[in-house]
Amino acid sequence: MADATGRIGAGVRLVLTTLTVTPVRPGRIDRDVAAVAMSLAPVVGAVLGAVVAAIGIGANRLGAPAVVAGSLVVAAGVLLTRGLHIDGLADTADALGSYRDREAALDIMKRPDVGAFGVAAIALALLTQAAAAGAIVGRAAPFALAGVVTATAAGRLAIAVGCRHGVPAARTGGLGALVAGTVGRPTLAVGALAVLAVAVAAVPNRPWQGPLAVGLSLAVAVLLVHHAVRRLGGITGDVLGAACELSVTITYVVVSLW
């Protein structure tokens, strides 16, 4: 019992230090702890979503234009995650867009600079998210909150999906090696049901639209992970970040269509 409690506590600390700027001291780090951390990723996404939604809804109610309110939502999300997922999206776009062999593509991911594919991916993702989030936070507060929480939680659910059993790591070291293959399918099912339950309330009079958005976003995440395994031999932390941002973007767009 004590070991299980310690593992859960360490998992909470790991997911907070990995996915947010929360100032907690890291604890034990191993694959058992990583399994707990990645399983909790959608929960962290939901909490993060509630925080950024409050910022966007507040800005909207104070009279900010939709694009400004949406930009504040996205900017707050980037700040609260240290831009980790956006960086992963850029590195993954550069690596996969290079059409280089496995080793060369992995080397591109490790470089500190950002290429043309990465810049385009960041710009398109952030602009699209800001525009869609702006439309969502202009709705009645319960729907606005549910919409933003759905998008942020779906993105972190995509991370858990990328860490499911059977998905290998592209490298022997790094975040990908720590978390790859750690999340079981029953855990994923519970996480997905929780996100879908929130998604039902994301769009007024259309309870099916939020779940559809989540389903589409996860399908894209699965395709990205599959492509990464084929091209790179497995996942990396950057691939997980890219899966997160793609899922967030798709969810925002579909939920905003009302």
The whole-number pLDDT of residue 10 equals 92
Domain total of the chain: 1
Where do we find the tokens 């993702």?
125
Is residue 241 in some structural domain? yes
Is residue 7 in some structural domain? no
The whole-number pLDDT of residue 1 equals 54
Is residue 22 in some structural domain? no
Is residue 9 in some structural domain? no
Please state the rounded mean pLDDT for residues 146-153: 98
The whole-number pLDDT of residue 124 equals 97
User: CA-CA-CA-CA torsion for 245, 239, 46, 134, nearest 10 degrees?
Assistant: 0
Is residue 79 in some structural domain? yes
User: CA-CA-CA-CA torsion for 84, 201, 253, 148, nearest 10 degrees?
Assistant: -30
Is residue 211 in some structural domain? yes
Q: Is the pLDDT of residue 233 over 80?
A: yes
Please state the rounded mean pLDDT for residues 150-163: 98
Is residue 29 in some structural domain? no
Domain of residue 123: give its range.
44-256
Structural contact between residues 113 and 92, judged by C-beta atoms closer than 8 angstroms: no
CA 91 to CA 199: how far, in whole Å? 30
Residue 207 is encoded by which pair of tokens? 């309870």
Label residue 7 by pLDDT band (50, 70, 90).
confident
Is residue 56 in some structural domain? yes
